[in-house]
């Protein structure tokens, strides 16, 4: 199997004041927390958003792996709905010492380029900053971070920087050159 170079950029905010919120889109877009852990729904979001941008690391997870992942205290999934249809999501993962990672973030292909991404990122970042308010006993958030890579959507890095994230690390690795599975195996968006 051939390999391709992939650049991964890690970005962070170290204060809630770093967040530069985007304006809400004109459409009827709501951001709602998925409060009931659902492996089916989480896998749907993962494949719908990441299927065309090389998200493959969780495709082989079993139902039990998804459930265990979702049941971790403090883990949250925030979903953007455009007129009732899931458009994208952000997954928050609390870590030690008041750190929260935005582990996954993105929009399904049909919803990109409509100003939903900036709004979703603004809301997800704000929820990362106030995560301890919803989870008694958690250390208040001191840092929010995420990573993006050269395989992600073309506007990802610019969106993160416009929301106030700053670059703290860059890494280049060789990754297997795998075909994107599309929004589901066998489907292609083009």
1 or 128, greater pLDDT: 128
pLDDT-based confidence at residue 120 (cuts at 50, 70, 90): very high
Whether residue 168 lies inside any domain: the answer is yes
Query: Averaged over 144-161, what is the pLDDT?
Result: 92
The structure's pTM equals 0.93
* Domain count of the fold of the chain: 1
Residue 190 scores a pLDDT above 70: no
pLDDT-based confidence at residue 2 (cuts at 50, 70, 90): confident
**Cα–Cα distance for residue pair 65/72, rounded to 1 Å:** 11
What is the separation of C-alpha 180 from the centre of its chain, rounded to a whole number of angstroms? 18
Whether residue 188 lies inside any domain: the answer is no
Q: How many CB atoms lie within 10 A of CB 45?
A: 22
Whether the CB-CB separation of 37 and 67 falls below 8 Å is answered with: yes
Whole-number pLDDT of residue 189: 53
Which residues span the domain enclosing 109? 3-176
Which has the closest alpha carbon to 117: 65, 155, 77?
Answer: 155
Whether residue 161 lies inside any domain: the answer is yes
Whether residue 72 lies inside any domain: the answer is yes
Whole-number pLDDT of residue 123: 98
Region of 98 (left: φ > 0; alpha: ψ -120 to 50; beta: rest) is left
Query: Averaged over 11-30, what is the pLDDT?
Result: 95
Whole-number pLDDT of residue 55: 86
pLDDT digits (tens, 9 = 90+) for 66-95: 999 999 999 999 999 999 999 999 999 999
Strands (DSSP E) found in 14-131? 29-33, 76-82, 85-94, 99-107
Whether residue 86 lies inside any domain: the answer is yes
């Amino acid at each position: 199997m051939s390999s391709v170079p992939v650049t991964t950029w890690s970005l962070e905010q170290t204060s809630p004041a770093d967040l530069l919120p985007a304006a809400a889109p004109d459409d009827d877009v709501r951001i709602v927390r998925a409060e009931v852990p659902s492996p089916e729904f989480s896998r749907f979001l993962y494949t719908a958003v990441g299927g065309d941008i090389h998200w493959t690391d969780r495709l082989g997870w079993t139902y039990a792996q998804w459930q265990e992942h979702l049941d971790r205290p403090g883990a949250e999934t925030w979903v953007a709905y455009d007129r009732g249809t899931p458009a994208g999501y952000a997954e928050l993962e609390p870590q030690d010492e008041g750190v929260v990672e935005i582990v996954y973030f993105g929009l399904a292909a049909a919803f990109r380029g409509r100003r939903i991404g900036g709004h979703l990122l603004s809301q997800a970042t704000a929820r990362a900053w106030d995560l301890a308010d919803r989870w008694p006993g958690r250390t208040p958030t001191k840092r929010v971070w995420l990573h993006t890579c050269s395989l992600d959507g073309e506007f990802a890095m610019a969106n993160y920087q416009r929301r106030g994230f700053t670059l703290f690390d860059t890494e280049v690795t060789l990754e297997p050159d795998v075909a994107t599975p599309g929004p589901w195996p066998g489907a292609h968006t083009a």
